[in-house]
């Protein structure tokens, strides 16, 4: 059976979806215990995330015993994945969108997350649950939610939120190597985003500096993740044109999160703005803001969506989106406090 070319040493331009497919392809080639299970995998996934750069669906490459199409039953899919992981496999469990994973919450939160603790380490659940988050244009309230804070609250789960094709490649490799259950939250509107991807490997829990307004001293720290990061970088560029220097940090993983990187930046700028697409009330931004407030003398502020369902009409949907203009306004308010 022939295999598509994997990333070796060179930089390659690919989409966010292709980057994840490339990482999964490499992992499946290297380790026969890595499998994929879920709905629509046979046609390459809803978003093409199980289709190679060359256009082959992964089932054509690895066969139906390792790329397994399932009936529409999220609880069954997740439960099967947990059982496979306990039996020695390393399953990638596809939920299509995070909203649907609520039907599998017991299997993920009460079984996968707690098994290692409850049985004294006798069992491990090296499972990667792909739960795409975020607003999906014109898909309304049941297909546009961001639940990263829910899963960060659960002991035993790792939570990853890649924002670029490079991170979707590198973080998926890290998730597959973790040995613990990883809630892997790609964004529904980033699948077609293109970028350069290299063989770089990264650790879970390591943030990156996505933008720095000054090589010497920045005026404020902006922390974000997933698709919202790009609005924050856009805002930082606009602020730079006004003489305000912002350092934008992409957390990349929500749990563990890079406290050291955020605290170091906020200690220097003494101002922190946390921005996320999820509802602001009880969002993960509150954890970041509280931690910075406890350990530094920085002023802190949060910016997130209002506590409303995402509307279907474009005018209503827009009420749940956080724009670069809103980030700029929030940053300016923080600077003048």
Catalytic (active-site) positions: 143
The token duo for 153 is: 């609250």
β-pair type (246-250, 299-305): unpaired
Q: How many CB atoms are located within 10 Å of the residue 6 CB?
A: 16
In 10 A of CB 74, how many CB atoms? Answer: 22
Burial group, residue 24, by CB count within 10 angstroms (0-12, 13-18, 19+): buried
Closest among 289, 290, 280, 274 to 327, alpha carbons compared: 274
Find the helix packing angle between 284-295 and 259-269, rounded to 10°.
60
CB atoms within 10 A of CB 216: 6
Q: What is the full DSSP assignment across 61-116? A: HH-TTTEEE--S-HHHHHHHHHHHHHTT-EEEEE-SSGGGGGGGHIIIIIIITTHH
Distances (CA, A) of 31 to 19, 24, 91: 18, 10, 11
Which residue from 180, 146, 188, 152 is spatially nearest to 17, judged by alpha carbons?
188
Q: What is the DSSP letter of 134?
A: S
8 A C-beta contact, residue 211 and residue 247: yes
Q: What is the DSSP string of 314-325?
A: HHHHHTT---HH
Q: Which of 11, 13, 23 is nearest to 198 (CA)?
A: 11
């Amino acid at each position: 059976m022939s295999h598509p070319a994997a990333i070796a040493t060179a930089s390659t331009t690919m989409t966010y979806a292709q980057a994840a497919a490339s990482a999964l392809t490499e992992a499946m080639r290297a380790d026969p215990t890595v499998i994929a299970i879920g709905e629509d995998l046979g046609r390459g996934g809803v978003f093409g995330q199980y289709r190679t750069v060359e256009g082959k669906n992964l089932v054509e490459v690895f066969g139906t015993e390792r790329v397994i199409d399932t009936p529409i039953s999220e609880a069954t899919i997740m439960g099967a994945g947990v059982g496979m992981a306990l039996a020695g496999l390393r399953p990638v469990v596809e939920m299509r969108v995070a909203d649907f994973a609520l039907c599998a919450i017991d299997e993920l939160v009460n079984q996968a997350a707690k098994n290692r603790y409850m049985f004294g380490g006798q069992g491990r659940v090296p499972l990667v649950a792909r739960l795409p988050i975020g607003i999906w244009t014109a898909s309304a309230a049941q297909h546009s939610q961001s639940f990263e804070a829910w899963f960060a609250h659960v002991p035993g789960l790792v939570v990853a939120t890649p924002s670029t094709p490079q991170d979707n490649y590198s973080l998926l490799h890290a998730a597959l190597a973790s040995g613990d259950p990883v809630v892997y939250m790609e964004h529904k509107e980033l699948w077609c985003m293109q970028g350069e991807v290299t063989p770089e490997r990264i650790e879970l829990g390591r943030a990156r500096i996505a933008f720095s307004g000054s090589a010497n001293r920045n005026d404020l720290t902006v922390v974000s993740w997933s698709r919202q990061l790009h609005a924050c970088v856009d805002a930082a560029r606009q602020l730079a044109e006004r003489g305000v220097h912002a350092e934008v940090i992409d957390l990349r993983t929500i749990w563990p999160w890079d406290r050291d990187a955020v605290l170091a930046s906020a200690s220097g700028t003494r101002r922190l703005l946390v921005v996320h697409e999820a509802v602001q009330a009880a969002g993960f931004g509150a954890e970041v803001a509280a931690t910075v407030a406890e350990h530094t003398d920085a002023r802190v502020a949060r910016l997130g969506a209002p506590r409303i369902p995402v509307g279907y009409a474009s005018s209503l949907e827009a009420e749940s989106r956080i724009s670069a203009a809103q980030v700029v306004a929030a940053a300016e308010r923080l600077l003048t406090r």
